[in-house]
Chains A and B, each alone.
Chain A
Amino acid sequence: MKRIALLGMPNTGKSTLFNRLTGSSARVANWAGVTVDLSSAKILLGGHIAEMVDLPGIYDLHGFSDDEKVVRHLLEGHPIDLLAIVVNATQIERQLPLVLQVRSLGLPAVLLLNMADEAKRNGVEVDCARLAAHLGMPVVLLSAKYGLGQVEAMRVLAQALADASDVGPARRAQLQAVLSDDVRIEQETAAMMAEAVTLPLQLPEQVSDRIDRLALHPWLGLPLFFLAMLLLFQAVFWIGGPLQQGLTWLFDQLRQLALEPVAAQLPDFFHGLLLDGVYAGFVTVAAFVPLIVLFFFFMALVEDSGYLARAAFLTDALMAKLGLDGRSFVMVLMGFGCNVPAVMGTRMMRARPLRLLSMLVIPLSLCSARLQVFLFIVSAIFAPMQAPWVIFGFYLASFLTMIVTALLFRGRFKSSEPFVVELPPWRVPTLRQVAMRGWLEVRHFLSRATRFIVLGVIAIWLLTNLPLGAAPGSTDTLAGQLGTLFVPVLAPIGIDEKLAIALMFGFVAKEVMIGAFAVIYGMSGDALSQEFARSMDWVQAVSFMLFTLIYTPCISTIATIKTESKSAAFATLAVLWPLALAWLTSFVFYQGMRQILA
């Protein structure tokens, strides 16, 4: 099977094009450096199946950051039959040199001038035929986002692929030779620009500039940003809360009306395992799916608009005081969705200390899995009026723990990484993009659900019901004995042995914790919430949530930290430090509140 690689500078729309051509759902955002790893998919071109590879963006073929290395290794080590070079047509003058660098690799190549819509709006005109003649490769003008020129691009790619003769692996040495090519490349760029491209003398005043005047305003910029975030989380809560409650009710009805009658014939043990274990645990978590989808809809709006890059601008000065930079802040924001891609996103940083410090901080951001746990507990314990504010308080707490961590560790992870980052124009997110993101999260949830949640819930049910004679959930059961082990450590922070079991499983994946509550208390739906409210006061609840927020990253995050840092010692630190911080925070809060309220 022949292989096509999509190559180009960051944020030129490679992943958008990849998604459009192959029907995949690679991550897209208006921020340079979203894709950090290879992903590939099949594509039907001119009657043949080919493989298309989406690459991280590169500024240079001889770049030095980890994501650029990924690309270089691919070019050096794998047979590529065709390079599709993606360029932002508006920025063609700046990006042409990369095209020439790539051309000198000697591989068959096609130039795809993306963002035709923006180029037109900016008055940039490209004579594709002339450019093609000069470059010696086909050139197509298209818009990956809106689908313009897609058919033509497919036709040209198919043709080029059919024409591509076997180049063999002889090209590697040429990569090095490219290094000394800079001067010639500059001259050739100038010649081509003069011949085939018309640039406006002055870019027209853009809507984007007007938005920036407000969004990057010296005084209003930061407050506006946090206001936008506050609105986002409130919206998730106000729209998502009722959805979650409705779904819980539905699952309850399903159990009463359909499952109970059927399962009544089963022996007690299996009846319990299936209904009180698997079903109750799973649906308690599943009821949060609409809320999480909603959350990611909003995240997609923020990511695809260009606000992330503005956030980097607004916070860089403050982040510098913490030994981090504006990009770390963006990764923390992405971490509010899921910590794993955020940790991987640190690849665009070259200085290792900066990367490590960012990786230590990112897992403290309140990810969507933890949000589910908090929403569950908060709506059980607090009045509906207070609830959104409590949740917002936890986001602040999340920031605070990051600040403390960075301040404590910035001395050990000192770096002087240059901060030079693109600020892309504001872009209107499309429904297609946002919907795709939501769908992606549903899929992600389902795969986690089958892997972790069901297994975790079964394990918890067994632990809370074995050995066979013991009263379920009592201290005679395995879970009871395990939980008792933790009592000396957890009692001072107000956490009982039942919640200790939930915490043990939350280590695997935080969503499992809600499923665990259902199984441990042997209830679901409203009954579970009421039991929860009865068994603890608000101080205990907040202490438990603080501990849950901080105590350790989930297994997937730890594994990612280990691979990204290539250091078991660092991964250990990334587990132990939050554990210590969590205990201390909860201890201070719990004991302090007990003193104050006594």
Chain B
Amino acid sequence: MLHMKSKNHLLSELIPGQEALISAVHADEALHHRLAALGFRIGNRIQLMRRGRWAGPLHVRLGATDVMLRQTEADLISVSPQ
């Protein structure tokens, strides 16, 4: 079970209600800027609020900002769960 405790997870792997710190963002430049402007910066705290049905978007909370993003984009963000 050691690998389960590895520090880096993907944002898409969090379970609803779980909190984490953002450890890396692997997006291209355009998306990187947009994500940063919405609060996806390294070290920021993020909480997964819920997932949409039928593999729908993730609803996450960063500080005072709520954002929805698709699984594909959530796979670009590494987090370390708290």
Contact = CB atoms under 8 A, between A and B. Distances in A.
Interface of A: 9, 59-60, 62-64, 90-91, 93-94, 97-98, 122, 124, 182, 186, 199, 203, 212, 216, 218-219, 221-222, 309, 312-314, 316-318, 320, 326, 350, 416, 418-425
Nearest to A95: B37
Contacts of B49: 212
Given A94-B62, A420-B38, A326 B53 contact: no
Given A94-B38, A316-B52, A419-B73, A63 B66 contact: no
Given A316-B57, A326-B57, A63 B33 contact: yes
Tell which of A64, A94, A98, A221 has the most Cβ of chain B within 10 Å. Answer: A94
Tell which of A97, A350, A423 has the most Cβ of chain B within 10 Å. Answer: A423
Contacts of A91: 63-65
Contact of B68 (A59, A64, A218, A421): A421
Nearest to A93: B63
Nearest to B60: A423
B37 A350 contact: no
Given A90-B64, A421-B69, 12 more contacts: A59-B38, A64-B33, A91-B63, A93-B64, A317-B52, A320-B70, A416-B72, A418-B34, A419-B73, A420-B67, A423-B59, A423-B67
25 contacts: A59-B37, A60-B34, A64-B33, A93-B64, A94-B38, A122-B64, A186-B41, A199-B64, A218-B50, A313-B57, A313-B59, A316-B52, A316-B68, A317-B56, A317-B57, A320-B70, A326-B68, A418-B72, A419-B70, A419-B72, A420-B67, A420-B73, A422-B67, A423-B66, A423-B68
B60 to A, nearest CB: 9
A51 B52 CA distance: 44
B55 interface: yes
A182 B35 CA distance: 13
A9 B59 CA distance: 20
A124 B63 CA distance: 12
Interface residues of B, number: 31
B30 A421 contact: no
B30 A64 contact: yes
Contacts of B53: 218-219, 221-222, 317
Nearest to A89: B64
B50 A216 contact: yes
B59 A216 contact: yes
B33 to A, nearest CB: 5
Given A59-B38, A60-B34, A326-B57, A314 B68 contact: no
Given A59-B38, A216-B50, A313 B64 contact: no
Contact of A9 (B37, B70, B72): B37
A122 B55 CA distance: 32
B31 interface: yes
A60 B37 contact: yes
Contacts of A313: 52, 56-57, 59, 68
A421 to B, nearest CB: 5
Contacts of A59: 33-34, 37-38
B69 A419 contact: yes
Contacts of B68: 309, 312-313, 316, 326, 419-423
Nearest to A118: B64
Contacts of A317: 52-57
Given A9-B37, A63-B34, A216-B50, A422 B65 contact: yes
Contacts of B70: 316, 320, 418-420
A90 B66 CA distance: 12
A222 B54 CA distance: 12
B78 to A, nearest CB: 16
A192 B53 CA distance: 40
Given A63-B33, A317-B53, A326-B57, A418 B64 contact: no
Given A90-B64, A94-B65, A420 B33 contact: no
A203 B37 CA distance: 20
B52 A421 contact: no
